[in-house]
């Protein structure tokens, strides 16, 4: 039997996508833009606090154990980030913002010009923020007796 997403999850995803579309339509570096960015931050912190993310007595031991696993998992990603930064520096040194030598920053600049590009990056940012809340939920499941 396959599991289908619940109706509430689908509605929640649609609401978040609509909010991201509206938030990325606001002119940058204005009061409205700061409020649009701060709302998901406050909501995520509230969910994190409600799920007990700030009040766990054994959080230090949990994160110490996880850091050993995380170093093995994130090592290759850190290598890719260092390589990307090195390529960015070389690209900027060889021509900067020329069309002949595109860099990661010029590619992202082109993506940020379009509303849909800002929307996709905002959704990605929101998704990253939900990972903390999901981690707290998983810790609760690990601790709770079956």
Domain count, the chain: 1
User: For every one of its 146 residues, what pLDDT tens digit does the chain have, with 9 covering 90 and above?
Assistant: 456 668 888 888 899 999 999 999 998 889 999 999 999 999 888 887 787 776 666 666 666 777 777 767 778 888 888 988 888 888 777 776 666 666 777 777 878 888 999 999 999 988 888 877 777 666 666 665 55
pTM beyond cutoff 0.75: no
Identify whether the C-beta of residue 123 lies closer than 8 Å to the C-beta of residue 16.
yes
For residue 2, is it within any domain?
no
3-state secondary structure of 85: helix
Q: Which domain holds residue 92?
A: 7-143
For residue 94, is it within any domain?
yes
For residue 99, is it within any domain?
yes
pLDDT at position 18 is: 94
pLDDT at position 2 is: 54
Integer Cα distance of 59 and 40 in angstroms? 24
Identify whether the C-beta of residue 118 lies closer than 8 Å to the C-beta of residue 24.
yes
For residue 35, is it within any domain?
yes
For residue 50, is it within any domain?
yes
3-state secondary structure of 24: coil
- Could you tell me which of 1, 19, 7 has the C-alpha nearest to residue 123? 19
For residue 1, is it within any domain?
no
pLDDT at position 137 is: 67
């Amino acid at each position: 039997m396959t599991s289908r997403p619940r109706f509430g999850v689908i509605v929640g995803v649609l609401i978040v996508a609509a909010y991201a579309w509206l938030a990325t339509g606001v002119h940058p570096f204005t009061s409205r833009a700061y409020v649009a960015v701060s709302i998901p931050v406050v909501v995520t912190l509230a969910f994190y606090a409600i799920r007990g993310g700030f009040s766990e007595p054994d959080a230090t031991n949990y994160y110490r154990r996880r850091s050993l696993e995380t170093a093995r998992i994130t090592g290759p990603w850190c290598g890719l980030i260092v390589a990307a930064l090195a390529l960015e520096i070389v690209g900027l040194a060889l021509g900067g913002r020329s069309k002949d030598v595109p860099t990661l920053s010029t590619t992202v600049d082109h993506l940020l010009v379009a509303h849909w590009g800002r929307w996709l990056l905002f959704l990605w940012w929101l998704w990253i923020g939900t990972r903390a809340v999901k981690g707290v939920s998983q810790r609760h499941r690990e601790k709770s007796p079956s």
